[in-house]
Structure 1
Amino acid sequence: MENQQTYAMPRIGDKAPDFESLTTLGKIKFSDYNKGKWVIFFSHPADFTPVCTTEMTGFAKEKQFFADHNTLLMGLSIDSIHAHIAWVNAVYEKTGVLFEFPIVADIDMSVSKLYGMLQPGESETAAVRAVFFIDPEGIIRLIMYYPLNIGRNMEEIKRALVALQTASENKVACPLDWQPGDKVIVPAPKTLEELVARKASNLEMVDWYLAKKSL
Structure 2
Amino acid sequence: MSLLIGDTAPDFEAETTEGRIRFHPWAGADWVIFFSHPADFTPVCTTELGYTAKLRDEFARRGAKALVISVDTLEHHHSWSNDIAETQGAAVNFPIIADTDRKVATLYSMIHPNADAKLTVRAVYVIDPQKKIRASIVYPPSTGRNFEEVLRLLDSLQLTDGYKVATPVNWKDGEDVIIAPSLQDPAEIARLFPKGYKALKSYLRVTPQPDKA
With normalisation by structure 2, the TM-score equals 0.91
Secondary structure of the equivalent of 2:160?
A: helix
1:209 aligns with 2:198: no
User: Structure 1 stretches of 5 or more lacking a match?
Assistant: 1-7
Out of 52, 55, 73, which is 1:62 matched to? 55
Out of 78, 87, 94, which is 2:80 matched to? 87
**Is the 2:50–2:89 contact (alpha carbons within 8 Å) kept by the matching residues of 1?**
no
The answer for the alignment partner of 1:112 in structure 2 is 105
Count of matched residue positions in the alignment of Structure 1 and Structure 2: 205
Query: CA 1:197–1:171 in 2, change beyond 3 Å: closer, same or farther?
Result: closer
Out of 2, 10, 25, which is 2:3 matched to? 10
Deviation at 1:52, TM superposition (A): 0.5
Cα distance between partner residues in 2 of 1:51 and 1:12 = 27
**Is the 1:9–1:115 contact (alpha carbons within 8 Å) kept by the matching residues of 2?**
yes
The answer for the alignment partner of 1:5 in structure 2 is none
Cα distance between partner residues in 2 of 1:111 and 1:11 = 16
Over aligned residue pairs, what C-alpha RMSD do you find?
Answer: 1.8
Cα distance between partner residues in 2 of 1:33 and 1:9 = 23
The answer for the alignment partner of 1:169 in structure 2 is 162
**Is the 2:47–2:88 contact (alpha carbons within 8 Å) kept by the matching residues of 1?**
no
Deviation at 1:196, TM superposition (A): 5.8
Which is further off, 106-115 or 27-36?
A: 27-36
**Is the 1:189–1:195 contact (alpha carbons within 8 Å) kept by the matching residues of 2?**
no
Structure 1 letter corresponding to 2:115: E
Query: CA 1:95–1:153 in 2, change beyond 3 Å: closer, same or farther?
Result: closer
**Is the 2:47–2:84 contact (alpha carbons within 8 Å) kept by the matching residues of 1?**
no
User: Structure 2 stretches of 5 or more lacking a match?
Assistant: none
Map 1:125-164 onto structure 2 (within 5 A).
125-164=118-157
**Is the 1:198–1:208 contact (alpha carbons within 8 Å) kept by the matching residues of 2?**
no
The answer for the alignment partner of 1:3 in structure 2 is none
Cα distance between partner residues in 2 of 1:50 and 1:38 = 28
The answer for the alignment partner of 1:4 in structure 2 is none
Per-residue CA shift, 1:51-80, capped at 9, x if unaligned? Answer: 110111111111111111110100000001
**Is the 1:20–1:27 contact (alpha carbons within 8 Å) kept by the matching residues of 2?**
yes
Cα distance between partner residues in 2 of 1:172 and 1:95 = 38
Query: CA 1:19–1:113 in 2, change beyond 3 Å: closer, same or farther?
Result: same
Per-residue CA shift, 1:146-185, capped at 9, x if unaligned? Answer: 0010000121111111111111122321111111111111
**Is the 1:22–1:105 contact (alpha carbons within 8 Å) kept by the matching residues of 2?**
yes
Structure 2 letter corresponding to 1:213: T
Cα distance between partner residues in 2 of 1:149 and 1:73 = 21
Cα distance between partner residues in 2 of 1:166 and 1:79 = 36
Per-residue CA shift, 1:57-104, capped at 9, x if unaligned? Answer: 111111111111110100000001111111112322444421110001
